[in-house]
Amino acid sequence: MVGIVLVSHSYELAHGLAALASQVAGTEVRVEPAGGGPDGTLGTTGDAVRNAISRAECGQGVVVLADLGSSVLTVRHLLEEARSNGHIRLVDAPFVEGAIAAAVMSSAGQDLDDVARAAEEARGASKF
Amino acid sequence: MTWRGRPRRRAVQASSELAVALPSAVALHARPAATFVKTAMRFRSKVSVGVNGKLADAKSILAVLALGATGGTVLRLSAEGEDAPAALDALSACVTGLTE
């Protein structure tokens, strides 16, 4: 299954969303949070993201969602450094809806392209 | 009055519809919604689910969640495509078997 990484400035936000996505999609999908700076501050660190990606990866690629601004930059720098060959995909998607859509698509056995697309298409979804 | 119409032609339509109620204690949210969507995704047909006048793509978790269907709600399922009847059979069984 495609792994999902959730990058947030907030430890609680990343972990809470990972818990929600796992509850909806099932625990067989690896949804890994990377949130918060050192010592409980708000922020994102490359190390946390790198570790989350390696926990999420199980051979079929990883979709990474980021909450805002500098968490996006953190992921971008990391992917540039790693010269990612495209199997780690940062998607431009709403954080909550994108994570849920991606996790469910992954749990249904869809591939990296489909999971990434589902996250991005979440932008157009109405809440009610 | 005489019936002068041409014999009605029955088009071969691979589309089906049926209505099925959610179990009374199970809302179509979170895990049950994902179970429903994943069942729909096993089929090639386009599958829709209607609740109280709202219609959602049964293969989209966000659309299904947005229906806000509570326990006991009647879901109107429709499918269009070569495996439409099988899709509706599977979804109907899925819905009646949902648990929280």
For A72-109, the pLDDT digits (tens) are: 999 999 999 988 788 999 999 999 999 999 999 999 99
Contact list in A for residue B31 (CB cut-off 8 A) is 23-24, 26
Q: How far is CA A121 from CA A30, A98, A126, B27, B63, in A?
A: 21, 8, 11, 24, 11
> Whole-model pTM above 0.80?
yes
User: Does residue B92 lie within any of the structural domains?
Assistant: yes
Q: For residue B8, what pLDDT band results from cuts at 50, 70 and 90?
A: low
User: Does residue B74 lie within any of the structural domains?
Assistant: yes
Whether B25 is catalytic: no
**Where residue B68 sits, what CATH number does that domain have?**
3.30.1340.10
User: Does residue B17 lie within any of the structural domains?
Assistant: no
User: Does residue B87 lie within any of the structural domains?
Assistant: yes
Contact list in A for residue B34 (CB cut-off 8 A) is 24-26, 104, 107
User: Does residue B58 lie within any of the structural domains?
Assistant: yes
- Which site among A104, A114, A115, A117 would you substitute to test the B interface, given the most B Cβ atoms closer than 10 Å to its Cβ? A104
For B38-70, the pLDDT digits (tens) are: 999 999 999 999 999 999 999 999 999 999 999
Cα separation, A77 vs A83, whole angstroms: 10
Domains of chain A, earliest start first: 3-124 (3.40.50.510)
The 3-state secondary structure of A74-117, one letter per residue? HHHHHHHHHCCCCCEEECCCCHHHHHHHHHHHHHCCCCHHHHHH
Domain that holds residue B49: 27-96
User: Does residue B37 lie within any of the structural domains?
Assistant: yes
- The verdict on a CB contact (< 8 Å) between A108 and B66 is no
